[in-house]
């Protein structure tokens, strides 16, 4: 089965002119039954000539949200409930309508793919429950995260609660999973919508002036991250449990920085977005050229996306702008999509887990896990190289009709032509490309080992992994990967860590680069995690990321999370993570002692102690000393469960219960941005607004200005007295009044912004926790 690629051309926006329209779509429809679905665009070098690209479906400017959903997404719901994973992603240049397609607007007609998909899932769930007379139940659980600057953040977490390094990802039996990601069960559509809306506020968006887009129009909601919604559907009957997942991905759009007014922050984000999209294009190219190495691992987005493609149905929605201003970008997107549609995916049904037989005639016994270590990564393969031997029903009726190859200009598209007799033609293979094999005829996993299959790695027994640390994992990696010596590998790891650190400490980043993610980093710095510990945490995460030994990696990831939680004073969560790590380090006394200490502390409920300033600083000093003492043992995680744990307890910071100690006036249900000490408290109490606006820049003021200058709606929204609308208004006012390079330098300037005023400034500033 191939990736199904459909193109959607968005309507003209207010400031765009009809005469500038250059992209035309020929959708399928009653008036053109069986005709190819094409997108036409002129050759930029010779406009009398045009290029045509054929896709599995084309939707022109008139297409509605409902039409796209019904034709492209609705058919996948049946397969989701049949046990197949589904991936839907929107791809396109910034401003072409990806978010509109995936999320859409608030009105019923405007709702995008994601809310409609959930609506269909709930409808089908109710039907299954009803038809089975209540014997089968369906549970829908949601997780939602973003990849921002190549770091993964849980969108159910407010930006200021994020750790700077984000969440680690790992491979688990052929699936990429995000470690520590929260999952929420949603019993109704309404529950889902509430969670989804809340989480979207946490997504990294920003106002970006995109010159070429619509004549200096302000795009206040440009997505600066790839957002991934995962919906897990679990069907439980008396005899079996079946789980499958649909992932809906709104990719950030690529943009040409020469044509935007991006400032330094935006350039960093943009570089990260462009890099991940570039890696994605490289992966697609490598697959289509049958290269043995597909660079999935070079970006987190491709690691995550590759898995979706590998294991079920994949639908790509290519979003296009119709106007000339996007000419080259559109061609580039069309070429990318043209290659993507030739990728074949080995679909694998998630097999049910059977319950034990209850007696004669009971259910088939024995587990049939598909998510365990018995699954190998299923490689993507070029479609032309595949033999689609099982001619089975298609999932898309319109695609089945389009089986006649059409002539296609190839200047910008792949030159490789499928051989005669090949199952699917590159240009006209929509029908065969969309063929889908239900469970009984699926390819076996073992057969999935095409030319790009990776050798399966045996998981070592836990006892074997207990005494090994990251350094030995690196050695193992070096041995497994003859191209890299151990030293080279070490050097590579060090370099990556150094680069990360350097980029964090660069002066240019300290002031201006405080966007959503960095608000979390700022909060941590304010929590005074010693730089050495921070460095070790990050180095550990990198090493965990690099190491290939799944078993050890999993244990280390739990350790890492435990240490991050412990560093934030979240003892309960730290204990849970240590508990999860324990099976990977059996018999380790230090780890057991660590857990006992945490249990005692939690059981004792000694909140006062965690708040007491003296022990905190004493512990910090001790921890700092320990860090200094054994700094160069950093990489020696062989004794992960022996030596390095020694320090963990040393880091106790303000406990979550700290707000209880604050006065009622200061207590607020809203999350606080950061913790500061500041000599201007008295002014807050007086409410002396004018004095405040003239006050010199205190750390608190500096922080406020940093948040404002980030122009990050999500971060600004977390300031006291600022709701979503006000945050947007502030960003709009900033963008209207100031060029992107210009920063707000004092409170008076901030108070002078349209719709802000001294009271708002005072309120926002007072809300920064002291």
Ligand X SMILES: Nc1ncnc2c1ncn2[C@@H]1O[C@H](COP(=O)(O)OP(=O)(O)OP(=O)(O)O)[C@@H](O)[C@H]1O
Q: Write out the residues near ligand X by the rule CB under 6 A.
A: 10-11, 13, 92, 94-100, 219, 221-223, 252-253, 319
Q: For residue 587, say whether it is annotated as part of any ligand binding site.
A: no
Nearer to ligand X, 652 or 717 (CB): 717
The torsion of the CA quartet 178, 181, 186, 192, rounded to 10 degrees, works out to -80
**What does DSSP assign to residue 413?**
S
Nearer to ligand X, 147 or 375 (CB): 147
Question: Nearest distance from residue 329's CB to ligand X, in Å?
Answer: 11
Q: Reduced to 3 states, what is the DSSP secondary structure of residue 619?
A: helix
Question: Nearest distance from residue 154's CB to ligand X, in Å?
Answer: 20
Nearer to ligand X, 205 or 547 (CB): 205
Question: Are 269 and 224 within 8 A, CB to CB?
Answer: yes
Question: Are 635 and 543 within 8 A, CB to CB?
Answer: yes
Nearer to ligand X, 319 or 547 (CB): 319
Question: Nearest distance from residue 231's CB to ligand X, in Å?
Answer: 20
Question: Nearest distance from residue 254's CB to ligand X, in Å?
Answer: 8
Q: For residue 359, say whether it is annotated as part of any ligand binding site.
A: no
Q: For residue 99, say whether it is annotated as part of any ligand binding site.
A: yes
Question: Nearest distance from residue 662's CB to ligand X, in Å?
Answer: 38
In a 13 Å sphere around the CA of 8, the CA atoms on its Cβ side amount to: 31
Nearer to ligand X, 80 or 252 (CB): 252
Question: Are 405 and 429 within 8 A, CB to CB?
Answer: yes
Nearer to ligand X, 94 or 378 (CB): 94
Taking each helix axis from N to C end, the angle separating 516-526 and 699-710, rounded to the nearest 10 degrees, works out to 160
Please give the Cα distance from 643 to 589 (Å, whole number): 11
Q: Reduced to 3 states, what is the DSSP secondary structure of residue 377?
A: coil
Nearer to ligand X, 146 or 683 (CB): 146
Question: Nearest distance from residue 200's CB to ligand X, in Å?
Answer: 12
Question: Are 153 and 517 within 8 A, CB to CB?
Answer: yes
Question: Nearest distance from residue 100's CB to ligand X, in Å?
Answer: 3
**What does DSSP assign to residue 323?**
B
Nearer to ligand X, 109 or 682 (CB): 109
Rounded to 5 degrees, what angle do the CA atoms 727, 728, 734 make?
90
Question: Nearest distance from residue 666's CB to ligand X, in Å?
Answer: 37
Residues 6+ apart with CB under 8 A from 512: 263, 264, 265, 709, 743
Q: For residue 93, say whether it is annotated as part of any ligand binding site.
A: yes
Question: Nearest distance from residue 616's CB to ligand X, in Å?
Answer: 42
Nearer to ligand X, 184 or 221 (CB): 221
- Tallying the residues shown for the chain, one arrives at 770
Please give the Cα distance from 76 to 502 (Å, whole number): 45
Q: Which long-range contacts (CB under 8 A, 24 or more apart) does 280-284 make?
A: 280/305, 281/336, 283/380, 284/336, 284/339, 284/340, 284/343
Q: Reduced to 3 states, what is the DSSP secondary structure of residue 84?
A: strand
- 10 Å CB burial of residue 600 (0-12, 13-18, 19+) is exposed
Please report, in range form, the residues annotated as the binding site. Answer: 92-99
Please report, in range form, the residues annotated as the binding site for ATP. Answer: 92-99
């Amino acid at each position: 089965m191939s990736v199904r690629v459909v193109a959607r051309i968005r309507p003209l926006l207010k400031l765009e002119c009809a005469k500038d329209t250059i992209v035309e779509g020929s959708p399928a429809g009653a008036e053109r039954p069986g005709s190819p679905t094409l997108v036409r665009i002129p050759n930029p070098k010779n406009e009398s000539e045009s290029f045509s690209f054929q896709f599995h479906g084309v939707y022109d400017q008139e297409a509605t949200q409902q039409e796209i959903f019904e034709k492209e997404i609705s058919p996948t719901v049946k397969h989701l409930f049949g046990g197949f994973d589904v991936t839907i992603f929107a791809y396109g240049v910034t401003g072409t309508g990806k978010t509109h397609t995936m999320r859409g607007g608030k009105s019923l007609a405007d709702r995008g793919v994601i809310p409609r998909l959930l609506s269909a899932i709930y409808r089908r769930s109710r039907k299954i429950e009803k038809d089975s007379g209540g014997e089968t139940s369906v549970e829908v659980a949601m997780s939602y995260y973003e990849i921002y600057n190549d770091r993964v953040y849980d969108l159910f977490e407010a930006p200021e609660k994020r750790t700077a390094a984000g969440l680690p990802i790992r491979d688990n039996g052929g699936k990429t999973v995000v470690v520590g990601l929260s999952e929420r069960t949603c019993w109704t559509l309404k529950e889902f919508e509430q969670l989804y809306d809340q989480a979207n506020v946490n997504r990294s968006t920003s106002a970006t002036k995109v010159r070429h887009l619509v004549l200096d129009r302000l795009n206040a909601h440009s997505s600066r991250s790839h957002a991934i919604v995962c919906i897990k559907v679990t069907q439980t009957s008396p005899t079996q449990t079946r789980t499958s997942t649909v992932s809906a991905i709104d990719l950030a759009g690529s943009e040409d920085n020469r044509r935007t007014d991006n400032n330094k922050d935006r350039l960093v984000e943009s570089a990260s977005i462009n890099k991940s999209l570039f890696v994605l294009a490289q992966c697609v190219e490598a697959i289509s050229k049958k290269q043995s190495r597909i660079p999935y691992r070079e970006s987190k987005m491709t690691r995550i996306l590759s898995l979706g493609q590998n294991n079920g149905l994949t639908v790509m929605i290519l979003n296009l702008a119709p106007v000339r201003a996007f000419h080259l970008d559109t061609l580039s997107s069309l070429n990318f999509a043209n290659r993507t549609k030739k990728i074949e995916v080995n679909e694998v049904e998630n097999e049910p887990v059977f319950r034990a037989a209850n007696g004669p005639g009971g259910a088939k016994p024995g587990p049939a896990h598909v998510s365990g270590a018995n699954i190998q990564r299923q490689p993507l393969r070029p479609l032309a190289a595949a033999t689609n031997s099982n001619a089975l029903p298609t999932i898309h009726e319109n695609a089945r009709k389009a089986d006649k190859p059409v002539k296609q200009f190839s200047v910008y598209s792949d030159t490789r032509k499928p051989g005669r007799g090949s199952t699917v033609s590159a240009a006209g293979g929509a029908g065969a490309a969309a063929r889908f094999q239900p469970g009984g005829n699926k390819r076996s996993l073992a057969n999935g080992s095409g030319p790009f299959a990776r050798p399966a790695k045996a998981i070592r027994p836990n006892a074997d992994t207990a005494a090994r640390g990251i350094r030995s994992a690196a050695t193992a990696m070096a041995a497994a990967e003859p191209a890299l010596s151990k030293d080279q590998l070490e050097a590579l790891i060090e370099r990556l860590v150094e680069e990360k650190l350097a980029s964090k400490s660069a002066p240019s980043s300290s002031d201006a680069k405080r966007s959503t993610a960095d608000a979390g980093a700022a909060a941590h710095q304010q929590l005074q995690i010693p730089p050495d510990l921070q460095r070790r945490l990050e180095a550990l995460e990198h090493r965990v990321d690099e190491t290939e030994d799944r078993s050890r990696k999993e244990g280390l990831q739990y350790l890492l999370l435990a240490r991050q939680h412990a560093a934030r004073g979240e003892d309960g969560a730290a204990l849970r993570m240590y508990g999860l790590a324990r099976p990977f380090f059996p018999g380790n006394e230090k780890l057991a002692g660590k857990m006992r200490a945490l249990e005692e502390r939690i059981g004792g409920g000694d909140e006062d102690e965690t708040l007491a300033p003296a022990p905190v600083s004493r512990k910090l000093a001790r921890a700092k000393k320990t860090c200094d003492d054994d700094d160069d043992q950093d990489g020696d995680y062989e004794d992960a469960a022996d030596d390095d744990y020694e320090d963990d307890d040393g880091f106790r910071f303000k406990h979550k219960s700290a707000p209880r100690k604050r006065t009622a006036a200061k207590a607020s249900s809203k999350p606080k941005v950061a913790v500061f000490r500041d000599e201007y408290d008295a002014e807050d109490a007086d409410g002396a607004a004018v004095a405040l606006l003239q006050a010199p820049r205190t750390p608190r003021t500096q922080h406020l200005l940093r948040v404002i200058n980030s122009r990050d709606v999500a971060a600004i929204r977390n300031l006291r007295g600022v709701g979503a609308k006000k945050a947007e208004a502030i960003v709009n006012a900033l963008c209207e009044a100031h060029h992107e390079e210009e920063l707000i330098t004092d409170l008076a300037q901030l108070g002078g912004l349209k719709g802000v005023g001294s009271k708002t400034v005072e309120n926002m500033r007072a809300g920064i926790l002291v």
